[in-house]
């Protein structure tokens, strides 16, 4: 389709015989904000470097705007990159830094000045033309780096943890600004972060990566509410994972059984058979702890802690699995040592790690 700006087809890459990317497939549409999310070393930067042409894949193809650019030099690609350390030219002022891309393309001085002005206004740094990078704050420098990339009006902008070095408050503010800029200019962003909250707030789609593969690609809501694997469920929003078997099935409600007890989950259109092993992901804020309940998974309260406006209660289930429940508020009547049951609504338990054909 013509609005597909980027297509990665079965990309594989090894360094010194060690596989780093194991078959990466991704398409990005015009104006889409896609985040690569995953733990350190899973291959995020390598993926970006292959898109930018700074690395060559061992196998697979990189299509940009429908053309196979797998072997093309970086400067032949309509792609710009903003790296984490946002290296500005230290000896050039803000205006010269931002205008650099147009200058090397030998555009007229007047046009460059106009474009720089537009970019400065876009990143809300009007009046900063003559400042040197050393006279800017981290967030301002970051905005200059982004303006310097955007002035080339690339179809595709790659951002490798661009907010990683900023403090939390500035980071939140820059997230909003970046998102606003991206929507306004309609540029496709491929964005890297470790920060799952950042991924959830900014992205149109998130690609959760593990060991050089995408475990799941979906909207923030899909990835959060219907994780496909236990890794995705844990990495995005730290879900609890419980293991058991299918006890019985009644229409869409499946009864799950473990040595800690029984609870139900919604089949979500998949088929299950009694006795089948099943793994469930359950969000801590969607489970409840009840004393004296008839059903649910039995356990003992281990500890209570309060952080980020949430009370977390850790329960050790009778099959030794730890289950964390969280809810708003400072305290609960539960105390360590209390016997409780973990209960949830069937639609809040998501079956994960199912065979492909069952998904």
Ligand X SMILES: Nc1ncnc2c1ncn2[C@@H]1O[C@H](COP(=O)(O)OP(=O)(O)OP(=O)(O)O)[C@@H](O)[C@H]1O
Nearer to ligand X, 195 or 316 (CB): 195
Nearer to Mg ion, 43 or 351 (CB): 43
Please select the residue that binds ligand X; options are 20, 246, 297, 301, rule is CB under 6 A: 20
Is there a contact between 295 and 261 (Cβ–Cβ < 8 Å)? yes
> How much of the chain is helix, strand and coil, in % rounded to 5?
30, 40, 35
Smallest gap from Cβ 347 to Mg ion, in A, equals: 36
CA distances from 91 to 59, 115, 134, 139, 295 (A): 40, 21, 9, 19, 69
Smallest gap from Cβ 352 to Mg ion, in A, equals: 26
The interface partner of residue 40, options being Mg ion, ligand X, none and the CB cut-off 5 to 8 Å by kind, is ligand X
Q: Does 208 bind ligand X (CB under 6 A)?
A: no
Rounded Cα distance between 45 and 31, Å, is 21
- Give 76: exposed, middle or buried? Use CB within 10 Å, 0-12, 13-18, 19+: exposed
Here's the x/- map for ligand X, 295-324, by CB under 6 A: it reads as: ------------------------------
Span near ligand X by CB under 6 A; candidates 39-47, 92-100, 243-251, 265-273: 39-47
Is there a contact between 77 and 6 (Cβ–Cβ < 8 Å)? no
Nearer to Mg ion, 37 or 150 (CB): 37
List residues bridging with 82 in a β-sheet.
Answer: 159
Q: Does 81 bind ligand X (CB under 6 A)?
A: no
Rounded Cα distance between 133 and 140, Å, is 9
Nearer to Mg ion, 161 or 263 (CB): 161
**What single DSSP character describes residue 73?**
-
Rounded Cα distance between 314 and 325, Å, is 6
Nearer to ligand X, 50 or 254 (CB): 50
Q: Does 15 bind ligand X (CB under 6 A)?
A: yes
CA distances from 157 to 92, 145, 208, 272 (A): 23, 12, 19, 43
Please identify which residue in the block is written with the tokens 């008839």: 294
Is there a contact between 7 and 188 (Cβ–Cβ < 8 Å)? no
Smallest gap from Cβ 42 to ligand X, in A, equals: 4
Radius of gyration of the chain (CA): 24
Q: Does 50 bind ligand X (CB under 6 A)?
A: no
Please select the residue that binds ligand X; options are 24, 37, 43, 217, rule is CB under 6 A: 43
Q: Does 44 bind ligand X (CB under 6 A)?
A: yes
DSSP-based three-state secondary structure for 284: helix
The interface partner of residue 6, options being Mg ion, ligand X, none and the CB cut-off 5 to 8 Å by kind, is none
The interface partner of residue 20, options being ligand X, Mg ion, none and the CB cut-off 5 to 8 Å by kind, is ligand X
Please select the residue that binds ligand X; options are 10, 41, 114, 322, rule is CB under 6 A: 41
Size, binding site for ligand X by CB under 6 A: 11
Smallest gap from Cβ 199 to ligand X, in A, equals: 13
> Which residue number places its CB atom closest to Mg ion?
45
Instruction: Please give the residues from 322 up to 341 whose contact with ligand X meets the rule CB under 6 A.
Output: none
Nearer to Mg ion, 34 or 123 (CB): 34
Q: Does 46 bind ligand X (CB under 6 A)?
A: yes
Question: 159: which 2 tokens?
Answer: 């951002």
Smallest gap from Cβ 67 to ligand X, in A, equals: 25
Here's the x/- map for ligand X, 168-197, by CB under 6 A: it reads as: --------------------------x---
Rounded Cα distance between 313 and 301, Å, is 7
Which phi and psi (to 5°) does residue 26 adopt?
Answer: -160, 140
Nearer to ligand X, 43 or 154 (CB): 43
Smallest gap from Cβ 13 to ligand X, in A, equals: 8
Is there a contact between 65 and 30 (Cβ–Cβ < 8 Å)? no
- Classify each residue of 281-302 as buried b or exposed e, where b means 16 or more C-beta atoms within 10 Å of its C-beta: bbbbbbbbbeeeeeebbbbebe
Q: Does 93 bind ligand X (CB under 6 A)?
A: no
Q: Where along the sequence are the contacts to ligand X (CB under 6 A)? A: 15, 20, 38, 40-46, 194
């Amino acid at each position: 389709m013509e609005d597909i700006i980027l297509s990665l087809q079965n990309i594989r890459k090894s360094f010194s015989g060690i596989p780093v990317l194991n078959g990466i497939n991704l398409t990005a549409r015009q104006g889409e904000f896609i985040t690569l999310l995953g733990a350190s070393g899973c291959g995020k930067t390598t993926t970006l470097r292959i898109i930018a042409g700074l690395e060559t894949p061992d196998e697979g193809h990189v299509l940009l705007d429908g053309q196979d650019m797998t072997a093309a030099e970086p400067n032949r690609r309509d792609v710009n990159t903003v790296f984490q350390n946002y290296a500005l030219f230290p000896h050039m002022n803000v205006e010269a830094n931002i205008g650099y891309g147009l200058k090397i393309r030998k555009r007229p001085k007047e046009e460059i000045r106009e474009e720089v002005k537009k970019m400065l206004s876009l990143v809300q740094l009007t009046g900063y033309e003559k400042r040197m990078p050393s006279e800017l704050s981290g967030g301002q420098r970051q905005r200059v780096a982004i303006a310097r990339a955007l002035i080339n009006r690339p179809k595709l902008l790659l951002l490798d943890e661009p907010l990683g070095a900023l403090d939390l408050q500035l980071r939140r503010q820059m997230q909003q600004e970046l998102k606003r800029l991206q929507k306004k200019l309609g540029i496709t962003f491929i964005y890297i972060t470790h920060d799952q909250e950042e991924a959830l707030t900014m992205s149109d789609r998130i690609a959760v990566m593990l060991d050089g593969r995408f475990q799941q690609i979906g909207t923030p809501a899909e990835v959060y509410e219907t994780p496909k694997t236990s890794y995705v469920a844990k990495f995005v929003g730290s879900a609890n994972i419980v293991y058991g078997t299918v006890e019985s099935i009644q229409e869409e409600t499946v009864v799950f059984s473990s040595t800690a007890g029984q609870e139900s989950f919604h089949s979500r259109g998949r088929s299950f058979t009694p006795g089948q092993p099943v793994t469930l992901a359950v969000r801590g804020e969607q489970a409840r702890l009840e004393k004296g309940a008839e059903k649910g998974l039995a356990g003992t309260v281990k500890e209570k802690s309060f952080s980020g406006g949430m009370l977390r209660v850790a329960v050790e289930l009778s099959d030794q699995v730890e289950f964390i429940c969280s809810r708003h508020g400072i305290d609960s009547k539960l105390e360590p040592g209390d016997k409780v049951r973990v209960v949830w609504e069937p639609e809040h338990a998501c079956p994960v790690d199912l065979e492909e054909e069952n998904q």
